[in-house]
Amino acid sequence: MVGLGQCCWDQVGLVEQWPHPDAKTELLASCEQAGGPVATALVTLARLGVRTAFFGAVGGDEAGRLIRWSLVAEGVDCRLLQVDPEGESQRAWVIADRTTGKRNIFWKRGARRPFHLTDETAELIAAAKVLLLDDLDFDAALAAARAAREAGVTTVLDGGSLRPRTAELLPLIDHLVVSEKFARQWTGRPEPPAALEPLAAFGGTVTVTAGAEGCWSLLAGEVIHQPAFGVDVIDTTGCGDVFHGGYVFGLLQAWPLPAVLAFASACAALKARGLGGQAAIAGLDETLRFLARETGDIRWTTLRITE
Amino acid sequence: MVGLGQCCWDQVGLVEQWPHPDAKTELLASCEQAGGPVATALVTLARLGVRTAFFGAVGGDEAGRLIRWSLVAEGVDCRLLQVDPEGESQRAWVIADRTTGKRNIFWKRGARRPFHLTDETAELIAAAKVLLLDDLDFDAALAAARAAREAGVTTVLDGGSLRPRTAELLPLIDHLVVSEKFARQWTGRPEPPAALEPLAAFGGTVTVTAGAEGCWSLLAGEVIHQPAFGVDVIDTTGCGDVFHGGYVFGLLQAWPLPAVLAFASACAALKARGLGGQAAIAGLDETLRFLARETGDIRWTTLRITE
Ligand SMILES: Nc1ncnc2c1ncn2[C@@H]1O[C@H](COP(=O)(O)OP(=O)(O)OP(=O)(O)O)[C@@H](O)[C@H]1O
Ligand SMILES: Nc1ncnc2c1ncn2[C@@H]1O[C@H](COP(=O)(O)OP(=O)(O)OP(=O)(O)O)[C@@H](O)[C@H]1O
Ligand SMILES: [Mg+2]
Ligand SMILES: [Mg+2]
């Protein structure tokens, strides 16, 4: 599968409790790692054993080198990563609150040439089974979604927040998997299940994730809910990104939607055990054993997995 | 003059407004620079034209190199900076809120050998006119304050927050210049002027700074208040540190306390025009012209300044 979108260098700090403004707070722990919705989803898929290629852009700075090295170390194909030698990479500072499990992300786009679709990228997209997108670099996302649609490649959009031109992209999307915030911005409905129907008007499968509340989806017109799995939460940074990785894994297996959602939720929950968006992402065996244990359904460990 | 205490590598981001927990906020601007109360006070003094030496500790990491280079570039003598090759430097992430001018600091001490007083350091302290201290590395601060007291060197303590052994240090201090938070923690009195009398019991001159409210001090038993100067505030990170630099400058000039407080407040206000603790610190001419203009007292520009 291939992914096109954001990659980022994250510095993550853990605090006992979210401070009032105007405070000085000593961090309990900190770390640095690659992040970004699509990049993190691809790391998830790589750890699950899927061959992945990443399309995105970095600057010629230290953060760009760190992002590339760390994706390559995970086995993500970065040969078509675009490096703007004069440009800056996207960066984020994340403060994770140990008490609530919530995180606050401060990010910086970084001035650099946006990713542009090349012939080589378009060919790889057309040859893939699934294309995962976010829409920060909108022009590239639109061109990629068109190339995918033409070639009959399944498209998945990670909608984090509504952006000015998101609506143009939707007709080219098969699976829309969005955050609560996106659902609220798009539909004006604060409750995720109530947002599903208006969202579904775009034509494909729609899922809204809502943190510890789990996720909601529409299956043959019926609302289905997958609760979040219980883990000892350290940090929920990247849970949504990892959820998307697990969701794409389920699509590649051609599982029914409820199994896709359960699997994606398990991936996301396991991630929350560690600090930062990627450190604690689990491999396939661990995820399936976790699912079998949590659901009491032993079939998770006897599945035949196809590449 | 010499300073012993914290130095830090700061990454500073500006936001339109302080977010609710669990948000994603794009930074309006960001920068990196050296920070830390004593290091920033020394940079202030160096820009004002005072010869300064810094005693503190860094790790053998990139942050440590950046801290050293940037202090050396300001003309601060760093020959007795102690580098722990295996250790980590102190770092901070600062989020500055453009709407309120307040900042939230997340910091990390960094695992490294603390600064320890050497014969050479003690000699330089004994030869100085003023020693500025904070008390994060408590043992070194205590030893330095003793060496200063023995040699008749004026000691100034920057009290940011009350620490377990702060009380041991106070008898060795001539000028206690503390934050509102310290004053509240020490005396239980939420109002800075009400905290002055109990604070003054330690024996020296006491000043409490309270951000945009200005500062309060005791002069011959009377409470005096120096309002903050009005500037277009971008970021108040380091205002307290720069205030201490200006305060020490006033002591070196042997000015009366009200002039010391006015000068220190001007230094701090000018700093607030820029992002980060050090970028906008002004030189002497600019500070004196600002004071003359703001106070209407032309004498600020005709002062004879001694080195
Ligand atoms: N505290 C938690 N415990 C267990 N699982 C969680 C928790 N928080 C999130 N998850 C899982 O991750 C999924 C996605 O989380 P969420 O809705 O917060 O993503 P998001 O808003 O896209 O955030 P981001 O993209 O920043 O990670 C949830 O549906 C849930 O399955
Ligand atoms: N918004 C502001 N405008 C003008 N001057 C300010 C402002 N905020 C602070 N100052 C000046 O700086 C002085 C010190 O500020 P403050 O009391 O916030 O320091 P602090 O609490 O020690 O913070 P820090 O050490 O983190 O900088 C104030 O007394 C005032 O003179
Ligand atoms: Mg998301
Ligand atoms: Mg201070």
Distances (CA, A) of A212 to A143, A184, A231, B179, B204: 34, 17, 10, 39, 54
Residue A304 is predicted with a pLDDT of 87
Mean pLDDT of A54-67: 98
- Identify whether the C-beta of residue A130 lies closer than 8 Å to the C-beta of residue A8: no
Q: Is the pLDDT at A21 greater than 90, yes or no?
A: no
Q: For chains A and B, what is the number of CB pairs under 8 angstroms? A: 72
Task: Name the residue with tokens 């946006």.
Answer: A114
| Per-residue model confidence (pLDDT) at position A143 | 97
Contact A231, A6 (CB under 8 A): no
Q: Using an 8 Å CB-CB cutoff, list chain A residues near B105.
A: 23-25
Decide if A18 touches B, using CB distance below 8 A: yes
| Residues 123-152 (B) with a CB less than 8 A from some CB of A | none
- Closest residue by Cα to atom 31, ligand 1, is A265
Counting from 1 in the atom list of ligand 1, the atom nearest the Cα of A158 is 22
| Cα–Cα distance measured from residue A178 to residue A199, given in angstroms and rounded to the nearest whole number | 10
In a domain, A23, yes or no: no
Residue A22 inside a domain? The answer is: no
pLDDT of residue B13: 97
**pLDDT value of position A133:** 97
Measured in Å, residue B303 CA sits from the centre of ligand 2 at 25
The residue ranges of chain B whose pLDDT is under 70 are none
Give me ligand 4 centre to Cα B106, in Å: 14
Q: What is the pLDDT of residue A306?
A: 84
Residue A117 has pLDDT above 90, yes or no: yes
Question: Residues A264-304: pLDDT tens digits?
Answer: 999 999 999 999 999 999 999 999 999 999 999 999 998 88
Nearest CA to A64 out of A14, A130, A8 is that of A8
Residue A21 domain-assigned (yes or no): no
ipTM of the complex: 0.89
Sheet strand arrangement including A91-97: A29-35, A8-15, A91-97, A103-108, B24-26
User: Which domain does B197 fall in, by range?
Assistant: 2-16+29-301
Q: Is the pLDDT score of A11 beyond 90?
A: yes
Domain assignment present for residue A241? The answer is yes
Mutate to test the pocket of ligand 2, among B207, B243, B270, B295 (most ligand atoms within 8 A of CB): B243
DSSP string, B117-163: --HHHHHHHHH-SEEEE-SSSHHHHHHHHHHHHHTT-EEEEEESS--
Q: Among A230, A195, A224, which Cα is nearest to A212's?
A: A230
CA–CA dist A154, A251 (Å, integer): 9
Q: For A231-248, what is each residue's pLDDT tens digit? A: 999 999 999 999 999 999
Residue B285 neighbours by CB under 8 Å, 6+ apart? none
User: What is the number of other CB atoms lying within 10 angstroms of the CB of residue B139?
Assistant: 13
Please state the pTM of the whole predicted model.
0.90
Task: Note whether residue B24 is domain-resident.
Answer: no
Q: CB of B35 within 8 A of CB of B92?
A: yes
The token pair that represents A174 in the structure block: 């098969």
Q: Tell me how far the alpha carbon of residue B116 lies from the centroid of ligand 3, in angstroms.
A: 47
And the tokens for A21?
């403004």
pLDDT of residue A180: 96
The CATH number for A48's domain is: 3.40.1190.20
Ligand closest in space to the Cα of A278? 1
The bound ligand whose nearest atom lies closest to the alpha carbon of B242 is: 2
Residue of B91, B95, B104, B239 to mutate, interface with A, max A Cβ within 10 Å: B104
Helix ranges restricted to H, A188-274: 192-200, 239-252, 257-271
Between CA B144 and CA B279 the distance in angstroms is: 29
Q: Is B56 in the pocket of ligand 2 (CB under 6 A)?
A: no
| Mutation choice for ligand 2 from B181, B186, B226, B239, CB with most ligand atoms inside 8 A | B239
Amino acid at position A197, single letter: E
Residue A98 lies in a domain: yes
Whether B23 maps to a domain, the answer reads no
**Residue B22 falls inside a structural domain:** no
Residue B249 CA to residue A206 CA, distance in Å, equals 64
- A131 neighbors A155 (Cβ within 8 angstroms): yes
For residue range A157-177, what is the model confidence (pLDDT) as tens digits?
999 999 999 999 999 999 999
Sorted by sequence, the CB contacts under 8 Å of residue B95 that are 6+ apart come out as: A93, A106, B12, B13, B14, B15, B18, B103, B104, B106
What's the CA-to-centroid distance between A41 and ligand 2, angstroms? Answer: 43
What is the number of domains present in chain A?
A: 1
Q: Which residues of B touch A32 (CB under 8 A)?
A: none
